[in-house]
Amino acid sequence: MHKKKITPTGALLYVFLTVVLVFMMIPFVWLLISSLRPNADLFNEPFAVPKTLSFENFRAVMESHPMLLYFANSVAIATIATVIAVGAATLAAYAMQQRFLTRKSLTVLFSMCLFIPTNAFMVPYYVMINKIGLYDNVLGIALVYAGVNLPMSFMVIKGYMDTIPGELLESAKIDGATAGQSFWKIILPVSKPGIVTACIFLVINSWNELLFANLLNQSDSSRTIQVAIRSFLTTFEANYAYAFAAMVISILPTIIIYALLTDRIIGGMTAGAVKG
């Protein structure tokens, strides 16, 4: 076997990527170490080499707040939002595969929704959720997340469906299959990589979201883990050690998801870039 020769350009690329990796890892490593230090040490010498490290902050965080409840709320909200948004986006993307007069106009409309800042929907969402009686409710927050992430889910899934050869649908029509049968038996199985990619991104977005979770929350019954982190940093008291420990707890699930499903994420995103 011949060894692969590294060109000067390739060597520079590796060096550049290594430098980027180091700069990206430094904040995370500092956060992890800080979560193991006493709060007094963080105030006095935040960037000094720690003298003592312990898991006391994690134990205190778990005992002082119902973190398991917050964790469960975040899981429930992310799951419900993902099912609703991805289900609607999959049906909409399949509809865009059909030939009808306003297909291009609707596709452009969905694409434009990606450029609308989510902050613009704060008041309308707050009013609507209150009107339907879902304020301070897990389902209410999940519905908002589904609406906010629907355009992104649609574009990811549609991009993947566009790579499916049109001959498959034509063959199904010739064989007498209805639109529903073509969707369930042909399009849906083939589109699984794109759908999984959209699910991953939507779960992570819902897990990390703070703005709407804080706006639509009032009690522990619907509080997410991101809102719980904010409770450690108030106007009158700032316990950074506890906050950092809670951050580490909240970050771990997203790291695990990325580590286990990196290939699916990249494959689903790049598949829509090439017309099949």
Question: Quick check: 274 pLDDT over 50?
Answer: no
In a domain, 96, yes or no: yes
Question: Is the pLDDT higher at 71 or at 275?
Answer: 71
In a domain, 30, yes or no: no
Q: How far is CA 44 from CA 40, 41, 49, 80, in A?
A: 6, 5, 12, 43
By CB atoms closer than 10 A (0-12, 13-18, 19+), residue 265 is middle
Among 209, 203, 204, 244, smallest CA distance to 226 is for 209
**Residue 126, domain extent:** 57-271
pLDDT band at 270 (very low <50, low <70, confident <90, very high): low
In a domain, 99, yes or no: yes
Question: Quick check: 4 pLDDT over 70?
Answer: no
Question: Is the pLDDT higher at 3 or at 136?
Answer: 136
pLDDT score for 275: 44
Confirm if 160 and 191 have CB atoms less than 8 A apart: yes
pLDDT score for 269: 57
In a domain, 47, yes or no: no
In a domain, 18, yes or no: no
CATH number for position 182: 1.10.3720.10
pLDDT band at 268 (very low <50, low <70, confident <90, very high): low
pLDDT score for 276: 42
pLDDT score for 266: 66
Q: Classify each residue of 107-125 as buried b or exposed e, where b means 16 or more C-beta atoms within 10 Å of its C-beta.
A: beebeeeeeeeeeebeeeb
Number of other residues whose CB lies within 10 A of the CB of residue 226 = 20
- The model's pLDDT over 13-53, given as tens digits with 9 standing for 90+, comes to 889 999 998 998 998 899 999 888 888 888 888 888 887 78
pLDDT band at 69 (very low <50, low <70, confident <90, very high): very high
Question: Quick check: 245 pLDDT over 50?
Answer: yes
Tally of domains within the chain: 1
Question: Quick check: 123 pLDDT over 70?
Answer: yes
- The model's pLDDT over 184-229, given as tens digits with 9 standing for 90+, comes to 888 888 888 889 888 988 998 999 898 999 999 888 889 999 998 8
In a domain, 22, yes or no: no
pLDDT score for 6: 72
Question: Is the pLDDT higher at 4 or at 78?
Answer: 78
Instruction: Give the percent of the chain with pLDDT over 70.
Output: 92
In a domain, 40, yes or no: no
Most confident by average pLDDT, 107-116, 121-130, 187-196, 229-238: 121-130
In a domain, 33, yes or no: no
What is the pTM (predicted TM-score) of this model? Answer: 0.83
Confirm if 215 and 197 have CB atoms less than 8 A apart: no
pLDDT band at 89 (very low <50, low <70, confident <90, very high): very high
